[in-house]
């Protein structure tokens, strides 16, 4: 069941919460809505669920226009950040709730609840109460409860947002596995880019009520369409400067930039990810920047190096692969030279240029 959103707009008073938003989640896919707080993610999800109505635009499930259907008729499974389990009901009864409301026979309920608790890996806990569960277990119960009524689509609004980092990490892997087992078209809201990139088939980046970019995690990460996306994806080195005559003069880094051959000088900002910077012991070429190593942190398969340029008062993050790091034998205090393998230059009001 695909989900198609066409030209949705929504205002609260004079405030535009959604401004002409269109997207498609393909049948069986997992789509992440990623954006900072207030960007309209929850409003969009609630309109897709039928919990909120749009001022303009439509929502289709497959070819069926559901814009004016009630949430109940849409048959949506919904999980919120703050688990709304019934505290006075056992895990079993929480999961069974929707089926009891629909007067399903007892034997069917029992079998289905068992299947679902197996699916969310909580078989042994059917008789517990929510207060006897960890946060992660409660969210898995909430998911089992959402799945119990055999929804046509699944909508998750920051389902792991209230949990600590380690549990979030486990649950996002678990969610991906679960999705691969059940193949239910799912839209997953998060403000955490790592979560979106690890879990989703497709990422839609939102900002101020509109879609800034959508694509596969790889596409968005490798080709951020705007400075906002680049910045939001986190941990980038930013250089401010100018472009003119085929050169980008970014303070510390001067780089050939044939995409802008014009004589007229224009402001530009360049972004370089930590893994796109390299370190050498000796100066090389015309565009290496003298820096001092301030921190060295080998973490897993990369070493995270922090360096500082006295001349430009600029701190940079460099990720080196472990081999390169061992070869260089870097220590805090070392004087070294940094260069960029790849730079993305943005000029205000101009499309992206990459070198």
Residues in contact with ligand ADP by CB under 6 A are 12, 17, 35, 37-43
Q: Which of 39, 42, 137, 185 binds Mg ion (CB under 5 A)?
A: 42
Rounded Cα distance, 272 and 289, in Å: 14
What's the CA gap between 221 and 45, in Å, rounded?
23
Query: Contacts by 165-172 with C-beta closer than 8 Å and gap 24+?
Result: 167/134, 167/135, 167/136, 168/192, 168/195, 170/136, 171/136, 171/139, 171/140, 172/198, 172/199
Min CB(39)–ligand ADP separation in Å: 4
Q: Which does 43 bind (CB under 5 to 8 A by kind): ligand ADP, Mg ion, none?
A: ligand ADP
Which residue, 39 or 288, has its beta carbon nearer to Mg ion? 39
Name which of Mg ion, ligand ADP, none residue 185 binds, using a CB cut-off of 5 to 8 Å depending on partner kind: none
The strand pair at 277-280 and 266-272 is best described as unpaired
Q: Which is nearer to ligand ADP, 17 or 21 (CB)?
A: 17
Residue closer to ligand ADP (CB basis): 13 or 258: 13
Beta bridge partners of 315: 308
Copy the structure tokens of residue 308.
Answer: 């500082």
Q: What is the DSSP letter of 132?
A: G
| Least distance between ligand ADP and beta carbon 52 (Å) | 8
What's the Cα-to-Cα distance from 241 to each of 57, 253, 255, 291, 304, rounded to whole Å? 42, 9, 11, 19, 26
Which entry of Mg ion, ligand ADP, none binds 140, CB below 5 to 8 A by partner kind? none
Give the CA angle between residues 324, 338, 291 to the nearest 5°: 115
Partner touching 112 among Mg ion, ligand ADP, none, CB below 5 to 8 Å by kind: none
214 binds Mg ion (CB under 5 A): no
Residue 301: contacted member of ligand ADP, Mg ion, none (CB under 5 to 8 Å, by partner type): none
CB nearer ligand ADP, residue 35 or residue 241: 35
> Shortest distance, CB of residue 151 to ligand ADP, whole angstroms?
21
Q: Interface with Mg ion by CB under 5 A: which residues?
A: 42
């Amino acid at each position: 069941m695909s989900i198609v959103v066409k030209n949705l707009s929504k205002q609260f008073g004079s405030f535009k919460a959604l401004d002409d938003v269109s997207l498609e989640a393909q049948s069986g896919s997992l789509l992440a809505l990623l954006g900072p707080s207030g960007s309209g993610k929850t409003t969009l999800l609630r309109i897709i669920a039928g919990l909120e109505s749009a001022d303009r635009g439509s929502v289709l499930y497959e070819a069926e226009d559901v814009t004016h259907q009630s949430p109940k008729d849409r048959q949506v499974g919904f999980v919120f950040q703050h688990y709304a389990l019934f505290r006075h009901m056992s895990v079993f009864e929480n999961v069974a709730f929707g089926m009891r409301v629909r007067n399903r026979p007892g034997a069917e309920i029992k079998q289905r609840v068992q299947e679902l608790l197996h699916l969310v890996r909580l078989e042994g806990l059917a008789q517990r109460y929510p207060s006897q569960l960890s946060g992660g277990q409660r969210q898995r119960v909430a998911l089992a409860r959402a799945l119990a009524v055999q929804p046509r689509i699944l909508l998750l609004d920051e389902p792991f947002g209230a949990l600590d980092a380690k549990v979030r990490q486990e649950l996002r892997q678990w969610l991906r596995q679960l999705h691969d087992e059940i193949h239910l078209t799912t839209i997953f809201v998060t403000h955490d880019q790592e979560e979106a990139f690890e879990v989703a088939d497709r990422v839609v980046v939102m900002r101020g009520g509109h879609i800034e970019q959508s694509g596969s995690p790889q596409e968005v990460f490798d080709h951020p369409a705007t400075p906002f996306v680049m910045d939001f994806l986190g941990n980038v080195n930013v250089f401010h400067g100018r472009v003119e005559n085929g050169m980008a003069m970014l303070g510390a880094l001067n780089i050939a930039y044939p995409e802008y051959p014009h004589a007229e000088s224009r402001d530009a900002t360049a972004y370089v990810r930590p893994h796109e910077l390299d370190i050498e012991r000796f100066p090389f070429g015309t565009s290496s920047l003298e820096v001092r190593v301030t921190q060295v942190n080998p973490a897993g398969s990369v070493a995270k190096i922090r360096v500082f340029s006295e001349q430009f008062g600029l701190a940079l993050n460099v990720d080196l692969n472990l081999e390169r790091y061992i070869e260089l034998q870097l220590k805090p205090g070392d004087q070294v030279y940094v260069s960029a393998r790849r730079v993305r230059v943005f000029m205000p009001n101009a499309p992206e240029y990459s070198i």
